[in-house]
Amino acid sequence: MKELTKLSLIALAMTAGVMTSCSNDDAVENTGKEEKVAVQFSSKISVASRAAGTTWTAGDRIGIFMNEAGQSLSEANIRENALNIAYVTAAGDGKFAPVDEAQTIYFPIHGTVDFYAYYPQQTVTDCKLALNVADQSNQEAIDLMYSKVTGKNKEQPAVTLSFAHQLSNIILDVQPGDGLTAADLAGLTVKVKSQCTTATYNLATGEKSNDGDVADVAMKSVTAGSRYEAILLPSGANSCVIEFDLNNGHDAPFVWTMPTTLEAGMQYHYTKVKLSRTAAEVEGIIQPWAETTDDNENVAM
Protein backbone atom coordinates (compact mmCIF):
# COMPACT_ATOMS: atom_id res chain seq x y z
CA MET A 1 0.00 0.00 0.00
CA LYS A 2 2.86 2.37 0.80
CA GLU A 3 4.42 1.72 -2.62
CA LEU A 4 1.11 2.31 -4.37
CA THR A 5 0.70 5.56 -2.44
CA LYS A 6 4.12 6.76 -3.62
CA LEU A 7 3.31 5.87 -7.22
CA SER A 8 -0.03 7.60 -6.96
CA LEU A 9 1.61 10.74 -5.61
CA ILE A 10 4.15 10.73 -8.43
CA ALA A 11 1.39 10.28 -11.00
CA LEU A 12 -0.62 13.09 -9.46
CA ALA A 13 2.42 15.36 -9.45
CA MET A 14 3.12 14.61 -13.12
CA THR A 15 -0.51 15.24 -14.02
CA ALA A 16 -0.47 18.52 -12.15
CA GLY A 17 2.74 19.50 -13.92
CA VAL A 18 1.19 18.80 -17.32
CA MET A 19 -1.91 20.78 -16.42
CA THR A 20 0.20 23.68 -15.16
CA SER A 21 2.24 23.62 -18.36
CA CYS A 22 -0.91 23.70 -20.50
CA SER A 23 -2.28 26.50 -18.37
CA ASN A 24 0.90 28.53 -18.85
CA ASP A 25 0.79 27.94 -22.60
CA ASP A 26 -2.78 29.19 -22.70
CA ALA A 27 -1.75 32.25 -20.72
CA VAL A 28 0.95 33.05 -23.27
CA GLU A 29 -1.49 32.63 -26.15
CA ASN A 30 -4.09 34.74 -24.43
CA THR A 31 -1.51 37.40 -23.67
CA GLY A 32 -0.58 37.40 -27.34
CA LYS A 33 -4.19 38.02 -28.29
CA GLU A 34 -4.55 40.71 -25.66
CA GLU A 35 -1.55 42.49 -27.12
CA LYS A 36 -3.35 43.08 -30.43
CA VAL A 37 -3.87 46.82 -30.63
CA ALA A 38 -6.14 48.43 -33.20
CA VAL A 39 -4.83 51.50 -34.98
CA GLN A 40 -6.78 54.63 -34.04
CA PHE A 41 -6.96 56.80 -37.16
CA SER A 42 -7.76 60.48 -37.22
CA SER A 43 -6.93 62.96 -39.93
CA LYS A 44 -6.51 66.52 -41.01
CA ILE A 45 -6.28 68.22 -44.35
CA SER A 46 -3.01 70.12 -44.29
CA VAL A 47 -4.41 73.04 -46.24
CA ALA A 48 -7.32 75.34 -45.60
CA SER A 49 -9.72 74.32 -48.34
CA ARG A 50 -11.01 71.51 -50.53
CA ALA A 51 -12.65 71.49 -53.90
CA ALA A 52 -15.91 70.59 -52.22
CA GLY A 53 -15.55 72.56 -48.96
CA THR A 54 -13.26 73.12 -46.01
CA THR A 55 -13.77 69.83 -44.17
CA TRP A 56 -14.37 66.17 -44.75
CA THR A 57 -17.82 65.18 -45.95
CA ALA A 58 -19.84 62.54 -44.11
CA GLY A 59 -19.19 59.22 -45.81
CA ASP A 60 -15.77 60.15 -47.27
CA ARG A 61 -13.61 57.04 -47.69
CA ILE A 62 -9.85 56.74 -47.65
CA GLY A 63 -7.63 53.79 -48.57
CA ILE A 64 -4.94 52.77 -46.05
CA PHE A 65 -1.82 50.62 -46.35
CA MET A 66 0.29 49.40 -43.39
CA ASN A 67 3.81 48.68 -44.59
CA GLU A 68 7.05 47.40 -43.05
CA ALA A 69 8.83 50.44 -41.65
CA GLY A 70 11.56 51.86 -43.85
CA GLN A 71 10.68 49.62 -46.79
CA SER A 72 9.23 50.71 -50.12
CA LEU A 73 5.47 50.36 -50.29
CA SER A 74 4.67 47.09 -52.04
CA GLU A 75 2.43 44.08 -51.57
CA ALA A 76 5.46 42.10 -50.39
CA ASN A 77 6.10 44.56 -47.54
CA ILE A 78 2.50 44.91 -46.34
CA ARG A 79 1.92 43.96 -42.68
CA GLU A 80 -1.17 42.20 -41.29
CA ASN A 81 -2.78 42.11 -44.75
CA ALA A 82 -3.51 45.86 -44.49
CA LEU A 83 -3.57 46.51 -48.24
CA ASN A 84 -5.83 49.34 -49.44
CA ILE A 85 -8.26 48.93 -46.54
CA ALA A 86 -11.28 51.21 -46.81
CA TYR A 87 -11.89 53.50 -43.80
CA VAL A 88 -14.76 55.97 -43.59
CA THR A 89 -15.50 59.15 -41.63
CA ALA A 90 -19.19 58.55 -41.02
CA ALA A 91 -19.80 61.96 -39.48
CA GLY A 92 -17.36 63.90 -41.64
CA ASP A 93 -15.36 64.83 -38.53
CA GLY A 94 -12.04 63.34 -39.67
CA LYS A 95 -12.29 60.32 -37.38
CA PHE A 96 -12.03 57.19 -39.49
CA ALA A 97 -13.26 53.65 -38.85
CA PRO A 98 -13.13 50.57 -41.09
CA VAL A 99 -15.99 50.19 -43.54
CA ASP A 100 -15.91 46.48 -42.68
CA GLU A 101 -15.10 45.80 -39.01
CA ALA A 102 -13.59 42.47 -40.03
CA GLN A 103 -10.88 44.49 -41.80
CA THR A 104 -9.89 46.57 -38.77
CA ILE A 105 -6.16 47.29 -39.00
CA TYR A 106 -4.17 46.02 -35.99
CA PHE A 107 -0.56 46.79 -35.29
CA PRO A 108 1.79 43.81 -35.53
CA ILE A 109 2.68 42.35 -32.11
CA HIS A 110 6.31 43.25 -32.75
CA GLY A 111 7.94 45.76 -35.01
CA THR A 112 7.37 49.19 -36.48
CA VAL A 113 5.28 50.17 -39.49
CA ASP A 114 4.65 53.01 -41.91
CA PHE A 115 1.20 54.08 -43.10
CA TYR A 116 0.23 55.27 -46.58
CA ALA A 117 -3.22 56.69 -47.18
CA TYR A 118 -5.06 58.45 -49.97
CA TYR A 119 -8.45 59.91 -50.85
CA PRO A 120 -10.81 58.98 -52.44
CA GLN A 121 -10.51 55.22 -51.95
CA GLN A 122 -10.62 53.22 -55.17
CA THR A 123 -9.17 50.20 -56.95
CA VAL A 124 -5.38 50.07 -56.78
CA THR A 125 -3.04 48.07 -59.00
CA ASP A 126 0.53 47.48 -57.81
CA CYS A 127 0.14 50.36 -55.34
CA LYS A 128 -0.69 52.76 -58.18
CA LEU A 129 -3.82 54.81 -58.87
CA ALA A 130 -5.34 55.57 -62.27
CA LEU A 131 -6.19 59.28 -62.47
CA ASN A 132 -8.81 60.74 -64.81
CA VAL A 133 -9.97 64.37 -64.64
CA ALA A 134 -11.95 64.47 -67.89
CA ASP A 135 -15.29 64.52 -66.04
CA GLN A 136 -15.55 67.45 -63.61
CA SER A 137 -19.15 66.85 -62.52
CA ASN A 138 -18.15 65.25 -59.17
CA GLN A 139 -15.01 66.99 -58.02
CA GLU A 140 -14.78 65.12 -54.72
CA ALA A 141 -14.31 61.95 -56.76
CA ILE A 142 -11.18 63.35 -58.44
CA ASP A 143 -9.77 65.48 -55.61
CA LEU A 144 -6.71 63.30 -54.94
CA MET A 145 -5.13 63.72 -51.50
CA TYR A 146 -2.22 61.76 -50.04
CA SER A 147 -0.67 61.09 -46.64
CA LYS A 148 2.32 59.16 -45.30
CA VAL A 149 3.15 58.53 -41.63
CA THR A 150 6.29 56.65 -40.60
CA GLY A 151 7.69 54.83 -37.58
CA LYS A 152 4.58 53.76 -35.67
CA ASN A 153 3.97 50.76 -33.39
CA LYS A 154 1.39 49.45 -30.94
CA GLU A 155 2.81 51.63 -28.17
CA GLN A 156 1.53 54.64 -30.18
CA PRO A 157 -1.93 53.52 -31.33
CA ALA A 158 -3.14 57.01 -32.31
CA VAL A 159 -2.14 57.84 -35.89
CA THR A 160 -2.94 61.22 -37.44
CA LEU A 161 -3.01 61.21 -41.22
CA SER A 162 -2.17 64.64 -42.62
CA PHE A 163 -3.52 64.83 -46.17
CA ALA A 164 -2.20 67.14 -48.88
CA HIS A 165 -3.75 67.86 -52.28
CA GLN A 166 -1.85 66.35 -55.20
CA LEU A 167 -3.63 68.02 -58.14
CA SER A 168 -4.34 71.64 -59.16
CA ASN A 169 -7.55 73.60 -58.66
CA ILE A 170 -8.84 76.55 -60.73
CA ILE A 171 -11.76 78.71 -59.55
CA LEU A 172 -13.21 81.47 -61.72
CA ASP A 173 -15.72 84.00 -60.37
CA VAL A 174 -17.32 85.44 -63.51
CA GLN A 175 -19.31 88.67 -63.86
CA PRO A 176 -20.63 90.73 -66.79
CA GLY A 177 -18.53 93.60 -68.06
CA ASP A 178 -19.13 96.26 -70.72
CA GLY A 179 -21.93 95.38 -73.11
CA LEU A 180 -23.12 92.29 -71.22
CA THR A 181 -25.63 91.56 -68.47
CA ALA A 182 -26.04 88.71 -66.02
CA ALA A 183 -28.72 87.29 -68.35
CA ASP A 184 -26.15 87.14 -71.15
CA LEU A 185 -24.01 84.84 -68.98
CA ALA A 186 -26.80 82.38 -68.18
CA GLY A 187 -25.64 79.90 -70.83
CA LEU A 188 -21.91 80.41 -70.29
CA THR A 189 -19.63 77.40 -70.54
CA VAL A 190 -15.92 77.47 -69.75
CA LYS A 191 -13.21 75.12 -71.00
CA VAL A 192 -9.54 74.68 -70.19
CA LYS A 193 -7.98 73.88 -73.52
CA SER A 194 -5.67 70.96 -74.40
CA GLN A 195 -5.14 69.36 -70.99
CA CYS A 196 -3.82 65.89 -70.22
CA THR A 197 -6.73 64.15 -68.54
CA THR A 198 -5.23 60.79 -67.48
CA ALA A 199 -2.16 59.81 -65.48
CA THR A 200 -0.79 57.29 -62.99
CA TYR A 201 -0.11 58.13 -59.33
CA ASN A 202 2.45 56.04 -57.47
CA LEU A 203 1.51 55.73 -53.80
CA ALA A 204 4.98 54.43 -52.94
CA THR A 205 6.69 57.61 -54.12
CA GLY A 206 3.89 60.17 -54.07
CA GLU A 207 4.57 61.03 -57.71
CA LYS A 208 2.50 61.34 -60.89
CA SER A 209 3.55 59.96 -64.27
CA ASN A 210 2.25 58.73 -67.65
CA ASP A 211 0.24 61.85 -68.49
CA GLY A 212 -1.97 61.23 -71.53
CA ASP A 213 -5.31 61.66 -73.34
CA VAL A 214 -5.12 65.35 -74.25
CA ALA A 215 -8.54 67.04 -74.45
CA ASP A 216 -10.41 70.23 -73.60
CA VAL A 217 -11.76 70.03 -70.04
CA ALA A 218 -15.18 71.55 -69.37
CA MET A 219 -15.09 73.31 -66.01
CA LYS A 220 -17.84 72.51 -63.54
CA SER A 221 -20.59 75.14 -63.44
CA VAL A 222 -20.98 75.59 -59.68
CA THR A 223 -23.27 78.58 -60.20
CA ALA A 224 -24.37 79.11 -63.81
CA GLY A 225 -22.95 82.31 -65.24
CA SER A 226 -21.03 83.04 -62.05
CA ARG A 227 -18.65 80.40 -60.64
CA TYR A 228 -16.69 77.72 -62.50
CA GLU A 229 -14.19 75.22 -61.06
CA ALA A 230 -11.85 72.51 -62.29
CA ILE A 231 -9.40 70.07 -60.75
CA LEU A 232 -6.59 69.41 -63.21
CA LEU A 233 -3.38 67.45 -63.46
CA PRO A 234 -0.28 69.48 -62.60
CA SER A 235 1.53 70.48 -65.75
CA GLY A 236 4.99 71.62 -66.73
CA ALA A 237 3.54 74.14 -69.21
CA ASN A 238 4.03 77.77 -68.19
CA SER A 239 0.48 78.76 -69.19
CA CYS A 240 -2.90 77.35 -70.14
CA VAL A 241 -5.67 78.65 -72.38
CA ILE A 242 -9.21 79.14 -71.04
CA GLU A 243 -12.19 79.61 -73.34
CA PHE A 244 -15.44 81.37 -72.33
CA ASP A 245 -18.40 80.67 -74.60
CA LEU A 246 -21.69 82.55 -74.19
CA ASN A 247 -23.40 80.00 -76.46
CA ASN A 248 -25.69 82.69 -77.86
CA GLY A 249 -25.17 81.95 -81.54
CA HIS A 250 -23.36 85.15 -82.45
CA ASP A 251 -20.59 86.04 -79.96
CA ALA A 252 -17.33 84.25 -80.63
CA PRO A 253 -15.80 82.60 -77.51
CA PHE A 254 -13.53 84.77 -75.39
CA VAL A 255 -10.05 83.33 -74.97
CA TRP A 256 -7.73 84.08 -72.05
CA THR A 257 -4.24 82.68 -71.48
CA MET A 258 -3.73 81.96 -67.78
CA PRO A 259 -0.09 82.96 -67.29
CA THR A 260 1.05 80.40 -64.77
CA THR A 261 2.13 76.78 -64.36
CA LEU A 262 -0.35 74.37 -62.79
CA GLU A 263 1.41 73.02 -59.70
CA ALA A 264 0.42 70.21 -57.35
CA GLY A 265 -1.48 71.38 -54.29
CA MET A 266 -2.10 74.87 -55.66
CA GLN A 267 -5.44 76.62 -56.01
CA TYR A 268 -5.75 79.39 -58.60
CA HIS A 269 -8.67 81.58 -57.60
CA TYR A 270 -9.54 84.36 -60.04
CA THR A 271 -12.01 86.47 -58.12
CA LYS A 272 -12.97 88.94 -60.87
CA VAL A 273 -13.41 87.56 -64.35
CA LYS A 274 -15.22 90.30 -66.27
CA LEU A 275 -16.51 89.34 -69.68
CA SER A 276 -17.06 92.31 -72.00
CA ARG A 277 -17.91 92.62 -75.67
CA THR A 278 -14.32 93.60 -76.32
CA ALA A 279 -12.33 91.37 -73.94
CA ALA A 280 -12.24 89.50 -70.65
CA GLU A 281 -10.65 91.27 -67.69
CA VAL A 282 -9.35 88.90 -65.04
CA GLU A 283 -8.14 89.47 -61.50
CA GLY A 284 -7.27 86.80 -58.98
CA ILE A 285 -5.11 85.27 -56.29
CA ILE A 286 -2.62 82.40 -56.39
CA GLN A 287 -1.59 80.54 -53.25
CA PRO A 288 -1.20 76.96 -51.96
CA TRP A 289 -4.46 75.00 -51.77
CA ALA A 290 -5.04 77.08 -48.83
CA GLU A 291 -5.87 79.21 -51.86
CA THR A 292 -3.90 80.80 -54.63
CA THR A 293 -5.20 84.11 -55.83
CA ASP A 294 -3.93 86.44 -58.52
CA ASP A 295 -5.03 90.04 -57.87
CA ASN A 296 -3.48 91.29 -61.07
CA GLU A 297 -5.69 92.32 -63.97
CA ASN A 298 -5.54 90.08 -67.04
CA VAL A 299 -7.29 90.48 -70.35
CA ALA A 300 -8.76 87.80 -72.62
CA MET A 301 -9.25 88.72 -76.27
Confidence category of residue 47, pLDDT binned at 50, 70, 90: low
For residue 102, which amino acid is it? A
Say if residues 47 and 164 touch (Cβ distance below 8 Å). yes
* % of residues, the chain, pLDDT over 70: 80
Would you state the pLDDT for residue 54?
54
Distance CA 226, CA 175 (A): 6
Tens-place pLDDT, residues 268-287: 999 999 998 877 788 776 66
Question: Quick check: 98 pLDDT over 50?
Answer: yes
Confidence category of residue 27, pLDDT binned at 50, 70, 90: very low
Question: Quick check: 292 pLDDT over 60?
Answer: no
Question: Quick check: 298 pLDDT over 90?
Answer: no
285 φ, ψ to 5°?
-130, 145
What are the angstrom distances between the C-alpha of 270 and each of 94, 101, 255?
29, 44, 15
Tens-place pLDDT, residues 110-166: 999 999 999 999 999 999 999 999 999 999 999 999 999 999 999 989 999 999 999
Would you state the pLDDT for residue 126?
96
Say if residues 185 and 246 touch (Cβ distance below 8 Å). yes
